Chain A
């Protein structure tokens, strides 16, 4: 809303260029090598506010978040989990354990795709998940197959009391009966499009774009 107010102010300084009114929700930029404009569906501010809102929801629904642990799915679920865990720790005033899950070895398409095998990385869960409320964190929810693999992987580490799911973007097109408990933003897409989530820890910048 800030940009709306600034746009209302008369621009009486002739040296300043006239600012265009930009919606913070939907901004058209042109990527250097693409012919079509790439819609940015979330910018850094929006991502920050969304994660803060989700952190509050998590604390509320988990009654303060005792026995809560966050596990990020590689790659971009990991920094998201760490950020949300810090936010929850600020709100609830206690530390939230975080872990990292690599689902490569649990995929349902091992050996079925062309080319080299996907790169397998390590899983790091430095605490017992027995009896805990586990929150799985990923960037984009699409077919649901990654989450299915993550559930299989997670259950091998113990028996959590509950498993919940948080995603930054839900883009639809589910192929399995899976639904997220916390969604940053629902983004309707076509199957031909791709959703690019970029995070500062990995990509140097925070933004979500739809390509294609």
Chain B
């Protein structure tokens, strides 16, 4: 592995499979009476979160603790950032205290790349703006493999706010790298320019896109990142693009429904689908811990020299 995990582009196919295989072993640790192994004893991991997060931050923290790392959380609301410190200054000050890894969540795309250049610590991207969220894509792939046992030829349909989604950007790279047939669907106003160049099929009709799908992945409408009106109303959005039980019927009978969370029930997904038999949304959360343990473990090795 490289020094940092900033993007799915940093990973080869073999490295992706080695993460997924290691996650299998890590999952078993979570089922033990004593959910802890001494692997990262004496390593310090800083979770630096510039954006609100429940799932990702908790998941990273549990993963770090299960591997016996010393963790500390910096929530920006209680830090010097409010006093005007820049990201680079904050990072260099943390770096001066000799941590081994920094897990960064930031609202600006590329924030992790900046840290990667100025820090000796290993940087794990926990979501940077509209750019990437690699550990989410890895846990999604892990969940897909659990259910489908393969990626080659799987039809994966990703529906929702494509434009603002870092989960989408990581997932498209990962799934196409592993040979899945990826379809994107959502309002034309929320389709990124030249999305086809990513090697995917874009189909703005959800009803058509979901036909014979093996996996349906829903994305959240990210109102906090929207500047301007991309669709008339949330009600209309649900009517045209929301995942309803009717639409799920058009997919394969063993389809799985995924959502990276947090969900907007009644906007991108109907409650009966989110809580229904095809939903693997809570499995994704459970797998997140195992996959993040695998990433932390594999990054703790020696740095490969390019």
Interface of A with B (CB < 8 Å)? 102, 104-107, 110-111, 113-117, 119-124, 152-153, 156-158
Indicate which residue in B1, B32, B40 contacts A110 across the interface (CB closer than 8 Å). B40
When A111-B300, A117-B297 are in contact, do A156 and B24 touch as well, CB less than 8 Å? Answer: no
How far, in angstroms, from A158 to B33 measured CA to CA in the complex?
9
The CB with the most chain A CB atoms within 10 A, among B29, B43, B67, is that of: B29
Known: A110-B40, A156-B32. A120 touches B301 (CB 8 A): no
Q: Dominant SS at the B interface?
A: loop
B1 to A116, Cβ gap below 8 A? yes
Task: Name the B residues within 8 Å of A158 (CB-CB).
Answer: 33
Given that A110-B40, A156-B36 are contacting pairs, would A117 and B298 also be in contact in the complex, using a CB cutoff of 8 Å? Answer: yes
Query: Which residue of B has the minimal Cβ distance to A117?
Result: B301
Partner of A123, one of B28, B43, B298: B28
A106 touching B1 by the CB < 8 A rule? no
Interface centre among A115, A117, A123 (most CB of B within 10 A): A117
> Hey, which chain B residues are within 8 Å of A157, CB to CB?
32-34
| A92 to B36 CA separation, bound complex (whole angstroms) | 36
Q: A156 with B34: in contact, given A105-B39, A119-B21 (CB under 8 Å)?
A: yes
Q: Which of A106, A113, A114 contacts B37 (CB 8 A)?
A: A106
How many angstroms between the C-alpha atoms of A119 and B26 in the bound complex? 12
13 pairs across A/B with beta carbons < 8 Å? A105-B29, A106-B37, A107-B39, A110-B300, A111-B43, A114-B302, A115-B302, A116-B301, A119-B21, A121-B24, A122-B27, A153-B37, A157-B32
Closest to A111 in B: B300
In chain B, what residue has the closest Cβ to A152? B38
B77 at the A interface (CB under 8 A): no
Query: Quick check: B39 and A122 within 8 Å, CB to CB?
Result: no
B-side contacts of A117, CB under 8 Å: 297-298, 300-301
Question: Residue B246 at the A interface, CB < 8 A?
Answer: no
Chain A residues with Cβ under 8 A from B38's Cβ? Answer: 105-106, 152
B28 touches A124 (CB 8 A): yes
Main secondary structure of the interface of A (DSSP, over half): loop
Check if A105 sits within 8 Å of B304, measured CB to CB.
Answer: no
Inter-subunit contact B25/A121 (CB<8 Å): yes
Provide the bound-state CA to CA distance between A184 and B33, in Å.
34
B18 interface residue, CB < 8 Å from A?
A: yes
A70 to B208, CA, bound (A): 56
Q: Could you tell me how many residues of chain B have their Cβ less than 8 Å away from some Cβ of chain A?
A: 27
CB distance from A167 to the nearest CB of B (A): 24
Q: Are B298 and A116 touching (Cβ within 8 A)?
A: yes
From A121, which residue of chain B is reached at the shortest CB distance? B25
Contact A123 B36 (CB under 8 A): no
A105, A115, A152, A158: residue with the most chain B Cβ atoms closer than 10 Å: A105
Q: Establish whether residues B25 and A120, one from each chain, have CB atoms under 8 Å apart when the complex forms.
A: yes
Are the C-beta atoms of B297 and A105 separated by less than 8 Å?
yes
- Which residues of B have CB within 8 Å of A111? 43, 300-302
> Closest approach, in angstroms, between the C-beta of A6 and any C-beta of chain B?
49
In the bound complex, do residue A116 and residue B25 qualify as a contact, i.e. CB atoms below 8 Å apart?
no
Assess whether B25 is in contact with A106, with CB atoms less than 8 Å apart. no
Known: A110-B40, A157-B32. A115 touches B301 (CB 8 A): yes
Contact, CB under 8 Å: B298 / A122: no
B107-144 interface (Cβ within 8 A of A): none
A197: min CB distance to chain B, Å: 23
Most buried by B among A104, A115, A116, A119: A116
Q: Is B22 engaged at the interface, CB distance under 8 Å to the other chain?
A: yes
Using an 8 Å CB-CB cutoff, how does the interface string of B290-306 with A read, 1 for contact, 0 for none?
00001001101110100
- Asked whether A123 lies within 8 Å of B302 as measured between CB atoms, the reply is no
